[in-house]
Every structure is written in C-alpha cells, then in structure tokens.
Amino acid sequence: MSSPERKEGRIPIIGVSACLFHQDAERTTFNGRPLLYLEQSMAEYVMASAALPMMIPVASDPREFSVGLSDAVECIDGLVLQGGVDMSPLSYGQQPLRPEWSGDAVRDAYELELVRLCIAKNKPVLGICRGHQVVNVALGGTLYQDLPTQVPSELCHRHAGNYERNRHEIVITEGSWLQHLYPGVVRALVPSVHHQAIAELGQGLVVQARSVVDDIIEAVRLQSSESFGPYVVGVQWHPEFQHPEDTSLLDRRPIMEDFLRAVRLRRDL
C-alpha cells in the first residue's frame, strides 16, 4: 500500500504518552527495572499518516532533572494519549471500590499534566481508550471504576481472551464532529478493550458517540467557540488495533487525519 501524500513543510512531531512498568522485583523482564514503552501499533498508526511519533518520558523524580514535561510539550506539535492500565479513582476524587481498581496514580499525574500543558499551548490532543478517560478527568469529569459492576449490561466492553478482537457497535451522535468525519454513518463496529468509562462528563466536552446497548460514552470532543481554539478529542475504542483495510470496522483513518489537520493548522499560525 502506498504511503499517504506528505504535506509540505516539516513532518509533524507527535508526542505519545508512555506506558509505565514500575519497578517490580517479581518481574523477570529487564530484571524488574522500571520501563517506559510505546505500543508498536500506536507508533504505526501515527506514522501511517506521515507524522513522526515521539514517546514522552517521565522521570521517577522530576526534581532531579532540568528538562521536564513543559520542555517536551514545546518540542511537539500534538499529543496522543495511548491506552493502558486503569486510572486511579484518587485522580478524580474517589476511593477505589476494590483494590484491583486502584490504577496508576503516577501515570495519571504525568498524563493529566501533559493534557493541561497542551491545552494551554493550543497543541491538539487525541486520547485513545485510557487516554479518552484521561481527557475527561483532566477537564473535571469522573469515571465508572468497573462497568460490569456499576452499569450491568449484556454488552461486553472487554474480553480477556479476545482482547483486540472484541467488538461492539456504537451510534454516532447526530450533528456531531464525528458525524462530520463519517458522513452517512449512523452505527459502526469498533474494537473495545476497557472496563472503565466516562461517568460524569468533563467541562466543555460534547458527546460524539455512545455504545448502542448500554449508552456508554464512546467519544468526546472539547467544544470551542474559536476556529483555532483548543482541539481535544477522545475515543474509547482502539483504532490503532485495526487493520486499515478491514471494512467491517469504522475506518480508522479519518480520526488521525483530522487530528493531524488540526496539528498543521495550529503549527502554522
């Protein structure tokens, strides 16, 4: 398959938040040392639209370094928040209902700060799965800690065995930004790997899609009255897990292409 046409000018540099493996003496990989990583599928999703992904590191003790997240944000043109471990309920003012839902407050603080810095610098943000939830919490929203417990439904949002092959249907909100990206599409299948979801919507966010069976929020966008105001979007599904030619699923390309269009517009201001 041929590469997408490259736009004139410098290739957009897209910061991608890191997934964290904290130090763990029982983990044999790298002798349990702390790790930062970027999923290959996410890197390739960004690269497929002629942009360069750059993983943004987070220090174990930022006070020891003269280079920090604000410096990283100055170097990038936009931010993608990738999926991963649960958010900590502490990050949105709640206590974990069960110990296994305690999440990762360290990663939360790092990604929430990245979102706030990017909004302040008018650098576009795209949140995917966990990243969609981070966007919501950054703007004052809350989450369901566990959908099967708090919103019982026949719909399966996460299946351990099927993982990225688990799919369900969404309905796109009429008149929404997402409908503009997918004209004529009302319902679509998406790959779903999550057990947490948006409960209370963050300030300024507008729902773009919901799951068909249980009405869970599946996509959001920050409403802005300015043409070149903050661009912040979140989707609960995983477009990066999809094969681009799989026509049974909602086409993954328009979301990334729209994000990069916003990146180029704001970079050139």
Residue 88's φ and ψ, nearest 5 degrees, are: -80, 130
Q: Give the pairing type, strands 78-81 and 13-17.
A: parallel
Which residues lie below 8 Å from residue 54, measured CB to CB, with a gap of 6+? Answer: 13, 14, 15, 16, 75, 76
Q: Active site residue: 129, 157, 168, 218, which one?
A: 129
CA distance 136 to 198: 7
Active site includes 238? Answer: yes
Tell me if 58 sits within 8 A of 21, measured CB to CB.
no
How many angstroms from the chain centroid is the CA of residue 14?
Answer: 13
Tokens of 177: 């930004």
Identify the CA nearest to 266 among candidates 47, 46, 43, 12.
12
129 is catalytic: yes
Task: Round to whole Å and give the CA distance between 13 and 185.
Answer: 31
Distance CA 108, CA 215 (A): 26
Q: Among the options 157, 168, 194, 238, which is catalytic?
A: 238
239, HSE (Cβ side, Cα atoms, 13 Å): 26
- Residues 30, 9: Cα–Cα separation, whole Å: 40
Q: Find the catalytic residue in 111, 132, 168, 240.
A: 240
Is residue 156 annotated as a catalytic residue, yes or no? no
Which residues are catalytically annotated? 129, 238, 240
